[in-house]
Structure 1
Amino acid sequence: MVSEGKGMSETRKSAVLTPPLSIDLSDADYTAPNLIQRVFSLFKNVRPGSDLTKFQLPPLFNLPKSSLQCFGESLYCISGSDDILSRCNDGKSSIDRFTAVVAWSISTTRPVIFGLAPFNPILGETHHVSNGTLNVLLEQVSHHPPVTALHATDEKRKVEMIWSQQTIPKFYGTSVEAVVQGKRELKLLNHGENYVMNTPKLCIRFIPVPRADWTGNVTIRCEESGLLAELCYTGKSFLGFGGNNRSVKGRIIETSTSKTIYEVDGHWDRVVTIKDVMDKHKTKTVIYNGKEALSKLKTPEVKDEQGLWTSESAVVWSEVIQSILNKDWAKAREAKQEIEERERELAKERKSRGESWVPKYFNLSKSNSSKEEVYECSPKQKWVPTAPIVCNPFL
């Protein structure tokens, strides 16, 4: 068996970090000329219904970052004076904490740029970032199928997050639908509460109006408090009209009585409110302001160059990232092919020796209880250590 480290180059490279995806980042910041036409040409030989898990994109269609970084940014990159994670922990009652968790879950939804996708992480790739006392660690624990594990802890506030994510993108002729499988857990250790939730799916449409939307249903459940939230994410209408772009609606339910306590309404990139249905005045309270939280996000910085692992996303893809930023597509393509070819050779070597890959920071298991295999990840360490890369601390 082998673990993280063998698949990475021993030559020390500098990390290249790019701005996080935010609502004030426009498509023009990354998109190349005639991108829509190029997207159509990219899929002209792909059959409808095809699984795109193994589909390799040319660098022209890549964001200058790995999907591990995009995944991690949804946790450690947030602005504004309202520290939502502290609000989850500081709520005086279970319903106060639950509504804060609903707001926090919504805050992990981030904009997507049409026609561009992050790099597919290589096996054993990691991403390790700290934001204040919150330490976040991600590892690519499987390549086929692609499975990402996340462990985030805040020892000071006694908060822990354990996520596993397996994205399954499929092509449907005029659209791509990416279903995100996996369980997300947020544990408030001081209160003995565990919140379990899922993720909306990503729908990318090519016609009649090119766009990318988060859609579908999300549930958030806390067995200890007996509370449940049912949320529905909606994008624009088929023709691109309507005012429901990036909307989220739903309700918070007391499971013992099946009674609705609050109704949730708003837009995940703007304002989300809850309405007390038991109050005769139908009082509305703002629980999340996406415009404030997802604007002017700061780019993480390397504080300890020597502490960077060779498996760090910003190191593994540094040459590709810099080439994309420079719009040197030939060099980006060459650097990306070199990484992919090295990974194929390492996979052949493991197979010839009869070795199987063992993640370094997570235990990986799978269940066949449903129609498709579901992968679950559990961290090997209790607390995530402080990272060499830091994001702006919570204000």
Structure 2
Amino acid sequence: MAVMEGSLSKWTNVMKGWQYRWFVLDDNSGLLSYYTSKEKMMRGVRRGCVRLKGASLGIDDEDDSTFTITVDHKTFHFQARDAEERQKWVHALEDTIFRHGKGSRWEPPHPTPTLKDFDNRVSEADAYLQIMIEQTAKLEERIGMLTDPEERATCEIILKHANVMLENIKHAIVLLQIAKNTAHPMNGIYPSRPGPSNSISSIHDATTTGLVVPDMSYSSSEGEDDFFDANDSPFINSQVPSPTSLRSFDNETPTQVPPPKPCAANTITNKSRPPSIRKSSGNSGKSTNQEDLDYDALYEEDDDQDVEMENHGSVIRHLLSQVKIGMDLTKVVLPTFILERRSLLEMYADYFAHPDLFVSIADEKDPRDRMVRVVKWYLSSYHAGRKSAVAKKPYNPILGEVFRCHWDIHPKTNTANEEVVSDGPIPWCTKEQLTFVAEQVSHHPPISAFYAEHYNKRISFNAHVYTKSKFLGLSVCVYNIGQGIVSVLDYNEEYIVTFPNGYGRSILTTPWIELGGTVTINCPQTGYHCDIEFITKPFYGNRKHRVNAEVFAPEDKKSFLTISGEWNGIMEAKWADTSDTELFIDVNATNPIKKQVRPIRLQEDNESRKLWKEVTAGLKFNEIDRATNAKQFLEQKQRDEARERKESGTEWQTKLFKRAGDSDLHPQWIYTQQLKQRLPSKATNAT
């Protein structure tokens, strides 16, 4: 049965471009067949087909008209006319994949359900029915006491719908009993069928279709004219259930991987861990005695083992079964083993992995040179955040969590006798050190605020970021909503920067990360501005991590500087006035300066490394149970504190940052003791 048909464009390698095709989606057979024209479809001359059993859908957040289907070691690329048409095809395909995926899901052997199981389920439904009847009765009593007409009308509508639902549930329970007695007659009430069985499977008659479903997806040219991303997903095959085919129901979920509890965000218990993971959760051979363990060293070591998702495939695919394309991932449960050994707040400190570039902004005398310096610092700040080639997720900071660190700009300089900045973010640091502090100022929505300053250079940076994630099929997108402000006090200048989106690709195999989207750097005081585009990997090419930037003088429509290259490698600059191309920066040739963090034993209880030390130790020594339990403890503590605040009617009070601005949707967060507030202004008119 064709549930949808219409025209789409399909990428082909022979033509190196898009070609028009007429597509027919057959829900019964689980096939997406395509023809060179509608007339060829009417004559039954099929060009090829895509088998949807075990397939995975993907969309590109940067392009609102294209989508992909990955199956049988191949990725097919399609293009709709617009976003609305793509949405219709994606929804229809997703439903078909889900329907056919249920039968392909791996399940451990289960005994055939018996009549006793059936009776237990019906009894359970009846018990819930009684609870609902009681709640509906209480609602009816409440309506009788209401005096406000508007509220009374609203409750009456709810009561009406509740009564309709009650009747439907009662009717369904009666029909289930009739179906049972029809299949297994009692006391001669219903006529007997030949050969009755003691299982409820005899009630169900499978539907069949006359259309032969091929074992593999194919095209008439044996795949030569199709574009495939086989190397991107080498472990996805017809035997592996796809994300869209893994939505779980209670009676379908494998016993090794039960549905996670909603309250245990981002955790997975040992009982729900498959045998392959349980084995790996033991001690790796190193001593993890808490008395002997150097927790500080755990954070400083960069020898993270790259996690390949196929090693934990059943867990990952179960987790993906909780989501649909376009869904917000804020509350989706994630396993502990894919976590990076540090908090998100600590990751933000990587913006200053090259602190010498940041403070050098204040050394430039010309506003044009200062803008170029800001751009150089900004473009150099992203590569240091990726310690591993594999994309991993940092810890979600808990509300009120704080991270502090500092950098020695000139490490060989003796700072013992230098004057400290007692009223600064880190009161034991000197005037020649760059200091950094971050705080998790909101949990719902998740907002982090961070601040950095160098006292003698009279430069600071204040930022807030609201992170929002979205599932894209085979990728995850993290939107970084917010802005940062570089303040150069000697010139009364502010450089306002925004942040790119992050993408986790190939999440079913070996995940990798890339950046995408357009960001800006603007200086309202001078009029200089910069447009930066982080370019995601196109499906028809292999180049990754590209970035382009254009820097403009005040009121100029043509840029005086163009920068291109890779944000995690070499970037080149081309000047408009000379047409010369030169090296702008090679981030791999410029070693980051190591940040300095106070030992954990001296940290406050709400500081990141102290909060997450047991999770970090568990991940380091591959003791997944230990990491999971420690993580659950922190999350439960946060929930308990939130409940206590709600019961007492008190609001959370931030410690280091205050809310500013009138926007409730995306408020700004400002450090309470910024450098410009503590220092007298000595602005010059230098240009």
**What is the TM-score with the length of structure 2 in the denominator?**
0.49
What CA distance in whole angstroms lies between the structure 2 residues aligned with 1:349 and 1:128? Answer: 28
Q: How does 1:241-280 map to 2 (within 5 A)?
A: 241-243=541-543, 245-279=544-578
Q: In structure 1, what is the equivalent of residue 608 of structure 2?
A: 313
Q: Which has the higher strand share?
A: 1
Give secondary structure in 1 for the equivalent of 2:307. Answer: coil
Q: In structure 1, what is the equivalent of residue 647 of structure 2?
A: 352
Q: How does 1:120-159 map to 2 (within 5 A)?
A: 120-132=396-408, 133-159=433-459
Q: Deviations over 1:295-336 (max 9, x none)?
A: 576474435843x22111000000110110010001111111
Q: In structure 2, what is the equivalent of residue 380 of structure 1?
A: 672
Q: In structure 1, what is the equivalent of residue 395 of structure 2?
A: 119
What CA distance in whole angstroms lies between the structure 2 residues aligned with 1:99 and 1:364? Answer: 31
Q: In structure 2, what is the equivalent of residue 288 of structure 1?
A: 585
1:18 deviation in Å? 4.9
Q: Please, which runs of 5 or more residues in structure 2 have no aligned partner? A: 1-292, 409-432, 677-687
Amino acid at match of 1:360: K
Q: In structure 1, what is the equivalent of residue 160 of structure 2?
A: none
1:160 deviation in Å? 0.6
Are residue 58 (structure 1) and residue 335 (structure 2) matched? yes
Q: In structure 2, what is the equivalent of residue 387 of structure 1?
A: none
Amino acid at match of 1:380: T
Q: Deviations over 1:96-145 (max 9, x none)?
A: 11111001111221354545201110000000001121110000000000
| Larger mean Cα displacement after TM superposition, 206-215 or 188-197 | 206-215
1:158 deviation in Å? 0.4
What CA distance in whole angstroms lies between the structure 2 residues aligned with 1:78 and 1:35? Answer: 36
- From the superposition, tell whether residues 130 and 277 of structure 1 become closer, same or farther in structure 2 (CA, over 3 Å): same
Give secondary structure in 1 for the equivalent of 2:331. Answer: coil
Are residue 31 (structure 1) and residue 330 (structure 2) matched? no
What CA distance in whole angstroms lies between the structure 1 residues aligned with 2:489 and 2:581? Answer: 29
Report the aligned-residue RMSD.
Answer: 2.6
Give secondary structure in 2 for the equivalent of 1:291. Answer: coil
Q: Deviations over 1:273-301 (max 9, x none)?
A: 2211122xx122333221123x5764744
| Larger mean Cα displacement after TM superposition, 118-127 or 218-227 | 218-227
Give secondary structure in 2 for the equivalent of 1:302. Answer: coil
What CA distance in whole angstroms lies between the structure 2 residues aligned with 1:313 and 1:98? Answer: 33
- Bigger Rg over Cα: 2
Give secondary structure in 2 for the equivalent of 1:339. Answer: helix
Q: How does 1:101-120 map to 2 (within 5 A)?
A: 101-110=374-383, 111-112=385-386, 114-120=390-396
1:176 to 476, 481, 496: 476
- From the superposition, tell whether residues 209 and 61 of structure 1 become closer, same or farther in structure 2 (CA, over 3 Å): closer
Q: How does 1:333-352 map to 2 (within 5 A)?
A: 333-352=628-647
Amino acid at match of 2:518: N
2:308–2:511 Cα contact (<8 Å) kept:
no
1:227–1:255 Cα contact (<8 Å) kept:
yes
1:14 deviation in Å? 7.9
**What is the TM-score with the length of structure 1 in the denominator?**
0.82
Are residue 324 (structure 1) and residue 624 (structure 2) matched? no
Q: In structure 1, what is the equivalent of residue 530 of structure 2?
A: 229
What CA distance in whole angstroms lies between the structure 1 residues aligned with 2:310 and 2:542? Answer: 27
2:359–2:454 Cα contact (<8 Å) kept:
no
Q: Please, which runs of 5 or more residues in structure 1 have no aligned partner? A: 1-12, 385-395
1:19 deviation in Å? 5.6
1:20–1:297 Cα contact (<8 Å) kept:
no
Are residue 216 (structure 1) and residue 517 (structure 2) matched? yes
Are residue 87 (structure 1) and residue 360 (structure 2) matched? yes
Give secondary structure in 1 for the equivalent of 2:659. Answer: strand
Identity over the aligned pairs, expressed in percent?
24
Q: In structure 2, what is the equivalent of residue 393 of structure 1?
A: none
What CA distance in whole angstroms lies between the structure 2 residues aligned with 1:246 and 1:357? Answer: 39
